[in-house]
Amino acid sequence: MRETALDILDRGGDVARWEEEDTGLAKQRQHVLERLRTKLTGPQPAPKRLKRPLPHGVAFNVGDAVLLRSPGGKRAIVVVVGHKPGWPKGTENPVVELLLWEDTGELPTREFMATAPPLHTDSEVPTTLREGPPRIRPNLFSVFTAHKASAFNADIGDVIATDIPRPPAGDYLDGSVMTGHVMLSGVQWKWFGVFMDQPRYEAMRELTRAHTRPRR
């Protein structure tokens, strides 16, 4: 690019066209081009390195159990069952299952957190390719952290156990609304608290109670 610009300047640039209109303006144009040539042939500034975006997410390991709290005072438990590539490049988003748990005031046992059913969903996209009623599938969640303000913190919840032996309910990499034996939803940590205070949360709990049993 620089060599092309110098070649154009060496051939006089567009000064001749300016001379046809006004010799005074042509001289001014010549001075501008000379200054440009001096700038191009002089010392060039060092290339600037672009700053890499910083990840804001808190790292979680497979088997971490997290107690979540909602603004309305409800509590829920998620267990990390895997990871999914996140952003910035090189980061990983925890994939969690939201457990069907009846909060009696005491935390559940490790065995419960390893075997309790994950919440199920009947969300389905209408399509002519599949007939019958909506499928009832486990709903897993890939938790991303878009910015610092949405990062996991003590107001959202606490890690209450580690190394819970809980495999994922299905292949979450093939977990869209239309395909897969499970559905994977992308959410942020603060979303859980809002969701827990919504009627949809209780509806999914009822759906899960009616169609699942504890894992063996």
Cβ contact 78:98 at 8 Å: yes
35 and 70 together in one domain: no
180 within a domain of the structure (yes/no): yes
20 and 89 together in one domain: no
85 and 26 together in one domain: no
183 and 103 together in one domain: yes
107 and 190 together in one domain: yes
69 within a domain of the structure (yes/no): yes
Residues 105-127: b if buried by 16+ CB within 10 A, e if exposed: eebbebeebbbbbbbbbeeeeee
Cβ contact 156:196 at 8 Å: no
111 and 33 together in one domain: no
- Give residue 73's region: left, alpha or beta (phi > 0; psi -120 to 50): left
Cβ contact 64:79 at 8 Å: yes
Residue-level pLDDT at 1: 66
Query: Distances from the Cα of 84 to the Cαs of 11, 96, 179, in angstroms?
Result: 56, 10, 18
> How do residues 162-213 score in pLDDT, each as one tens digit?
999 999 999 988 766 667 889 999 999 999 999 999 999 999 999 999 998 8
Residue-level pLDDT at 94: 97
Q: Is the pLDDT of residue 29 over 90?
A: no
199 within a domain of the structure (yes/no): yes
- The closest alpha carbon to 177, from 121, 123, 96, 118, belongs to 123
Residue 190 CA, chain-centre distance (Å), reads 13
Phi, psi for 196 (deg, rounded to 5): -65, -25
116 within a domain of the structure (yes/no): yes
Distance CA 4, CA 128 (A): 58
Number of domains in the chain: 2
Q: Is the model's pTM score more than 0.85?
A: no
37 and 129 together in one domain: no
145 and 83 together in one domain: yes
Residue-level pLDDT at 99: 98
Q: What is the mean pLDDT of the chain?
A: 85
Cβ contact 81:99 at 8 Å: no
183 and 77 together in one domain: yes
120 within a domain of the structure (yes/no): yes
Antiparallel, parallel or unpaired: β 183-187 and 137-143:
parallel
> How do residues 61-85 score in pLDDT, each as one tens digit?
999 999 999 999 999 999 999 999 9
Q: Is the pLDDT of residue 32 over 60?
A: yes
**Domain range holding 95?**
65-211
Which range has the worst mean pLDDT, 45-59, 111-125, 164-178, 201-215?
45-59
Q: State which H helix or E strand residue 15 sits in.
A: helix 15-21
87 and 162 together in one domain: yes
Task: Provide the pLDDT confidence category of residue 5 given band limits of 50, 70 and 90.
Answer: low
Query: Distances from the Cα of 114 to the Cαs of 98, 117, 168, 174, in angstroms?
Result: 12, 9, 10, 23
146 and 198 together in one domain: yes
